[in-house]
């Protein structure tokens, strides 16, 4: 017998239709991390969301993190490490562990989960087809007193110089979902550990994606009253960063979103990955669930 739940389901599908039409054939790059990578039900719903996106003609590309998992294995192996200004100093020994975790453990697990749920996923790192070319990143510190800046070596930490999209384009034509570990290849073939948000932004720019979506463990960007901001243009975002409203861990995520917009990505979304079916709720509903950055 017909009931109100049936009507609600029908309305949800109708609401999603214009978004499906608009995004059909478009690329959506998703940075996957936080609680969504840990909670078993969230992991399953994420995989099913990706499969649904692909089924309606949208091309999802996943870039995943793995910082906590790297830290846990380093501690178990009694390998010392330190952070400088939020960056993990990456010695060759630390890089070996990071690559083992990101490529051999986390990436394989995500690919297996998607395939287990009925999708077709393929795991990649920056070495595959030189997908992510990078150079070593250095930090500078101002010592003051009219002294020259201090250059700090943080080891095998990289920044993206170029994304080579041919491998991803071939996978798209084959109906596969690419899952990318944030390990770049340096000038001499060495592995470089790169922040996953930065990789996702660079991949979105390199593919001229329609959307960049960053999954986080918070609702999105908050205003100075602690309320969620549904939409931001670049000028507003820069103003909020200047006044300190956007600060801490949210600031680099917003910066990644702005860089993607400047490179031609239509929209950047910062959403709460702790919400089941977060991708579908953000992409296919009128209200969404997080903060969207778009051109003014």
pLDDT in tens, the chain (296 residues): 545 555 556 677 788 888 888 989 999 999 998 888 888 899 999 999 999 999 999 999 999 999 889 989 999 999 988 888 777 889 999 999 999 999 999 999 999 999 999 999 999 999 999 999 999 988 777 666 666 777 788 889 999 999 999 989 888 888 899 999 999 999 999 999 999 999 999 999 999 999 999 999 989 999 888 899 999 999 999 999 998 899 888 988 999 999 999 999 999 999 999 999 999 999 988 778 899 999 75
Does the residue 4 lie in any domain?
no
Domain ranges, residue 263: 25-294
- What is the CB neighbour count within 10 angstroms for residue 217? 13
Does the residue 83 lie in any domain?
yes
* 146 torsion bin: left (phi>0), alpha (psi -120 to 50), beta (else): left
Does the residue 99 lie in any domain?
yes
Domain count, the chain: 1
Does the residue 98 lie in any domain?
yes
Does the residue 9 lie in any domain?
no
End-to-end CA distance of the chain: 48
* 33 torsion bin: left (phi>0), alpha (psi -120 to 50), beta (else): beta
- Does the reported pTM lie above 0.85? yes
Q: Which letter does DSSP use for residue 129 in this model?
A: G
Does the residue 14 lie in any domain?
no
CATH number at residue 279: 3.40.1160.10
Does the residue 54 lie in any domain?
yes
Which DSSP string corresponds to 5-44? HHHHHHHHHHHHHHHHHHHTT-EEEEEE-GGGGTSHHHHH
Backbone angles phi, psi at 209, to 5 degrees: -65, 155
Cα four-point dihedral sign 178, 180, 186, 189:
negative
Does the residue 193 lie in any domain?
yes
């Amino acid at each position: 017998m017909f009931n109100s739940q049936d009507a609600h389901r029908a309305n949800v599908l109708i609401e999603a239709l214009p978004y499906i039409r608009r995004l059909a054939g478009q690329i959506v790059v998703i940075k996957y991390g936080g609680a969504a990578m840990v909670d078993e039900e969230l992991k399953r719903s994420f995989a099913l969301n990706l499969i649904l996106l692909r089924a309606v003609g949208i091309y999802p590309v996943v870039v995943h993190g793995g910082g906590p998992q790297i830290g846990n294995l380093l501690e178990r192996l009694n390998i010392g490490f330190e952070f400088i200004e939020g960056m993990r100093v990456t010695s060759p020994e630390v890089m070996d562990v990071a690559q083992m975790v990101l490529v051999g453990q986390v990436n394989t697990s995500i690919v297996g989960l998607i395939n287990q749920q009925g999708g077709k996923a393929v795991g990649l790192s920056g070495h595959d087809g030189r997908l992510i070319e990078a150079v070593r990143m250095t930090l500078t510190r101002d010592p003051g007193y009219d002294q020259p800046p201090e250059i700090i070596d943080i080891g095998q930490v990289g920044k993206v110089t170029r994304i080579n999209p041919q491998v991803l384009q071939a996978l798209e034509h084959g109906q596969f979902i690419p899952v990318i570990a944030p390990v770049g290849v340096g000038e001499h073939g060495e592995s470089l550990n790169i922040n996953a948000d930065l990789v996702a932004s660079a991949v979105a720019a390199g593919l001229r994606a329609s959307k960049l979506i960053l999954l986080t463990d918070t609702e999105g960007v908050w205003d100075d009253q602690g309320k969620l901001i549904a939409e931001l243009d670049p000028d507003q975002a820069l103003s909020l960063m200047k006044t300190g409203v956007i600060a801490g861990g949210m600031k680099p995520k917003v910066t990644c979103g702005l860089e993607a917009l400047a490179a031609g990505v239509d929209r950047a979304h910062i959403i709460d990955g702790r919400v089941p079916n977060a991708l579908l709720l953000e992409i296919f509903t009128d209200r969404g669930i997080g903060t969207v950055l778009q051109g003014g």
